[in-house]
């Protein structure tokens, strides 16, 4: 089943709640009204009874009551809804006196008479025609000391009419009110959710080719405008990511085109005429070297792809940075000796990570430093254990890097001096790999350079054993 629309659901819910509220209020009003009318009736019966009692007290005996009823009848004269009935206790069959129609139900009347006491009592009864009566009863003493039961009945027809009119009007108004509330709620929700159509339109237009569209947040309800801003932000990030990817494929195609072009040209030139076998050998050697570079770009690319999907990686272990740095430095030491460069490893720290990847990051930084360090100088690998971070700094003196290059240095295929580094066999991915490795370790790769003086690359790892800063501060550094 298709889920009901939001506006329909809200409209129905509000209508039902509104209906419940109206019914509740109507019932409350009905009962309050009934109670109030009842109290009023009792009050007036009580007053009338007091008057009757006063009049009766002037009569000597029951005979006088039946003989001269006028004074008593005058009491109830003018009150259409009042009936006065007085009985003789010795004869309950016929009343001594009866004004008006009296109760239509003689049994109820008899019951009331029999239970009459000197206390004023009320009883309610409904006669055959459905009319409701309130009866006050009391034993009243005459002058000769005998007491007669007096019933004073009030016909509540007026009150009943009032109440039923009230109920009727409420019942007629209720469905109308219900429809009105429901429609209003439905309309309000429809109006409020109208911007969703805008969402749909934008979503329908967005694709990887076209990420330019943004949602307009003007005049949007707050909840939706927050959502729209979230979506706009997401589109922005996707846009940036897609642009970076397409830029990257451009770069990759360009990077591969150069060596492929070289290979093809070289092979075609060689094949254009007969050559000695030494010449063929030379060409094959140079082709192999060029192909090695292509292969290196491809495997670096694969490595980068692998690092950005870290699910298939081996779990991290504790890696002593100084040992890895020393190992890498040893590998580079011969190349360094060639340039009379001294490699210096200082300090120690342990981090959680992948040994091979850390070696690779250090190796990329060191080969970079070695390439740019002037002969006869010193490259320092400084390892520091901080409270929250362990860092490894690779610094080399030299011409340095201009500030405008620094923000792009870790980008793929970014080269400060493209012609020179490409001829040295660099793939342009070394520092990009360093950054990917560091982000896999939740660390950072940074560079600072003072042109003409010193260039420092820094790898910052989160500390291997997270501990409270206060405690960490007390421990000796470099453990």
Partner 1 sequence: MRILVVEDELKAAEYLHQGLTESGYIVDHAATGADGLHLAQQQAYDLIILDVNLPELDGWGVLEQLRRTHSTRVMMLTARGRLADKIRGLDLGADDYLVKPFEFPELLARVRTLMRRSENIPVPQVLKVADLELDPGRHRAFRGAQRIDLTTKEFALLHLLMRQSGEVLTRTQIISLVWDMNFDCDTNVVEVSIRRLRAKIDDPFDNKLIHTLRGVGYVLEARE
Nearest to 215 by CA among 202, 204, 206, 234: 202
Q: Which is nearer to partner 1, 45 or 379 (CB)?
A: 379
Taking CB under 8 A as the binding criterion, the range among 35-43, 124-132, 291-299, 344-352 that sits at the site for partner 1 is: 291-299
Structure tokens at 102: 């009296």
Instruction: Please give the radius of gyration of the chain, using alpha carbons only, rounded to the nearest integer.
Output: 52
Among 124, 144, 317, 330, binds partner 1 (CB under 8 A): 330
Listing DSSP states for 382-407 in one string gives EEEE-SSEEEEEEEEESS---TTTGG
Q: How far is the CB of 379 from partner 1 (least distance, A)?
A: 13
Site string (429-458) toward partner 1, x via CB under 8 A: -x----------------------------
**279, 282, 287, 289: CA torsion to nearest 10:** -170
**What is the footprint of partner 1 within residues 244-283 (CB under 8 A)?**
281
Q: How far is CA 425 from CA 41, 295, 399, in A?
A: 112, 12, 21
Among 13, 91, 246, 299, binds partner 1 (CB under 8 A): 299
Q: How far is the CB of 437 from partner 1 (least distance, A)?
A: 11
- Give me the residue label for tokens 């010795």: 90
Q: How far is the CB of 244 from partner 1 (least distance, A)?
A: 23
**What is the footprint of partner 1 within residues 336-375 (CB under 8 A)?**
337-338, 356, 359-360, 363-364, 367, 370
Q: How far is the CB of 361 from partner 1 (least distance, A)?
A: 10
Q: Which is nearer to partner 1, 370 or 438 (CB)?
A: 370
Q: How far is the CB of 405 from partner 1 (least distance, A)?
A: 19
Q: How far is CA 449 from CA 25, 130, 394, 422, in A?
A: 79, 105, 12, 22
Q: Is 314 in the site for partner 1 (CB under 8 A)?
A: yes
Looking only at the bridges linking them, the beta strands covering 342-346 and 147-155 are unpaired
Q: Which is nearer to partner 1, 351 or 433 (CB)?
A: 433
3-state secondary structure 230-285: HHHHHHHHHHHHHHHHHHHHHHHHHHHHHHHHHHHHHHHHHHCCCCCHHHHHHHHH
- Give me the residue label for tokens 């206790």: 89
Helix, strand or coil, per DSSP, at residue 411: coil
Listing DSSP states for 68-117 in one string gives --HHHHHHHTT-TTEEEEE-BTTB-SS-SEE-SS--S-HHHHHHHHHT--
**What is the footprint of partner 1 within residues 152-191 (CB under 8 A)?**
none
Q: Which is nearer to partner 1, 173 or 298 (CB)?
A: 298
Among 285, 323, 450, 453, binds partner 1 (CB under 8 A): 285
Among 99, 426, 449, 455, binds partner 1 (CB under 8 A): 426
Q: How far is the CB of 362 from partner 1 (least distance, A)?
A: 10
Contact 143, 57 (CB under 8 A): yes
* Pairwise CA distance, residues 160 & 328, whole Å: 104
Q: Which is nearer to partner 1, 98 or 360 (CB)?
A: 360
Number of residues this chain uses to bind partner 1 (CB under 8 A): 37
Q: Which residues of 362-394 are buried (b: 16+ CB within 10 A; e: fewer)?
A: bbbbbebbbbbbeeeeebbbbbbbebebbbbbb
Q: Which is nearer to partner 1, 182 or 428 (CB)?
A: 428
* Pairwise CA distance, residues 112 & 167, whole Å: 31
Q: Is 298 in the site for partner 1 (CB under 8 A)?
A: yes
Contact 366, 336 (CB under 8 A): no
**What is the footprint of partner 1 within residues 24-53 (CB under 8 A)?**
none
Strand partners, 345: 381
Q: Which is nearer to partner 1, 45 or 365 (CB)?
A: 365
* Pairwise CA distance, residues 69 & 49, whole Å: 16
Q: Is 57 in the site for partner 1 (CB under 8 A)?
A: no
Taking CB under 8 A as the binding criterion, the range among 19-27, 154-162, 331-339, 411-419 that sits at the site for partner 1 is: 331-339
Taking CB under 8 A as the binding criterion, the range among 38-46, 66-74, 176-184, 328-336 that sits at the site for partner 1 is: 328-336
Q: How far is the CB of 234 from partner 1 (least distance, A)?
A: 29
Q: Is 410 in the site for partner 1 (CB under 8 A)?
A: no
Q: Is 323 in the site for partner 1 (CB under 8 A)?
A: no
Binding site for partner 1 (CB under 8 A): 281, 284-289, 295-296, 298-300, 302-303, 306, 312-314, 327-328, 330-332, 334-335, 337-338, 356, 359-360, 363-364, 367, 370, 425-426, 430
């Amino acid at each position: 089943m298709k889920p009901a629309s939001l506006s329909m659901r809200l409209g129905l819910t509000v209508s039902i709640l509104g209906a419940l509220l109206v019914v509740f209020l109507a019932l409350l009003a009905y009962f309050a009204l009934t109670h109030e009318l009842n109290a009023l009736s009792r009050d007036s019966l009580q007053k009338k009874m007091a008057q009757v009692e006063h009049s009766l007290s002037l009569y000597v005996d029951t005979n006088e009551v039946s003989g001269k009823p006028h004074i008593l009848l005058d009491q109830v004269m003018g009150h259409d809804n009042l009936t006065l009935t007085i009985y003789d206790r010795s004869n309950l069959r016929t009343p001594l006196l009866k004004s008006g129609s009296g109760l239509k139900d003689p049994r109820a009347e008899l019951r009331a008479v029999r239970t009459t006491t000197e206390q004023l009592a009320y009883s309610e009864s409904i006669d055959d025609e459905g009319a409701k009566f309130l009866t006050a009863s009391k034993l009243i003493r005459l002058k000769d000391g005998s007491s007669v039961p007096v019933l004073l009945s009030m016909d509540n027809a007026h009150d009943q009419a009032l109440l039923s009119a009230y109920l009727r009007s409420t019942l007629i108004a209720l469905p109308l009110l219900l429809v009105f509330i429901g429609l209003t709620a439905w309309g309000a929700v429809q109006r409020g959710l109208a911007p969703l159509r805008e969402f749909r339109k934008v979503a329908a237009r967005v694709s990887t080719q076209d990420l330019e569209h943004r949602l307009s947040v003007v005049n949007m309800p707050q909840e939706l405008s927050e959502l729209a801003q979230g979506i706009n932000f997401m589109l922005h990030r996707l846009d940036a990511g897609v642009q970076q990817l397409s830029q990257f494929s451009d770069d990759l195609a360009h990077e591969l085109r150069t060596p492929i072009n070289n290979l093809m040209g070289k092979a075609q030139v060689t094949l254009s005429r007969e050559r000695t076998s030494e010449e063929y050998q030379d060409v094959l050697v140079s082709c192999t070297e060029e192909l090695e570079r292509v292969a290196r770009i491809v495997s670096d690319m694969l490595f980068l792809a692998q690092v950005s999907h870290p699910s298939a990686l081996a779990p991290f272990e504790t890696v002593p940075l100084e040992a890895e740095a020393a190992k890498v430095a040893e590998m580079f030491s011969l190349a360094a000796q060639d340039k009379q460069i001294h490699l210096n490893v200082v300090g120690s720290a342990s981090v959680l990570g992948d040994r091979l990847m850390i070696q690779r990051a250090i190796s990329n930084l060191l080969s970079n430093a070695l390439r740019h360090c002037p002969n006869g100088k010193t490259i320092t690998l400084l390892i520091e254990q901080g409270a929250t971070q362990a860092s490894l700094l690779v610094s080399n003196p030299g011409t340095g890097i201009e500030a405008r290059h620094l923000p792009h240095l870790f980008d793929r295929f970014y080269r400060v001096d493209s012609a020179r580094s490409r001829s040295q066999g660099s793939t342009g991915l070394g520092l990009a790999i360093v950054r990917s490795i560091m982000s896999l370790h939740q660390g950072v790769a940074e560079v600072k350079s003072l042109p003409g003086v010193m260039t420092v690359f820094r790898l910052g790892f989160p500390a291997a054993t997270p501990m409270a800063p206060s405690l960490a501060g007390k421990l000796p550094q470099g453990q």
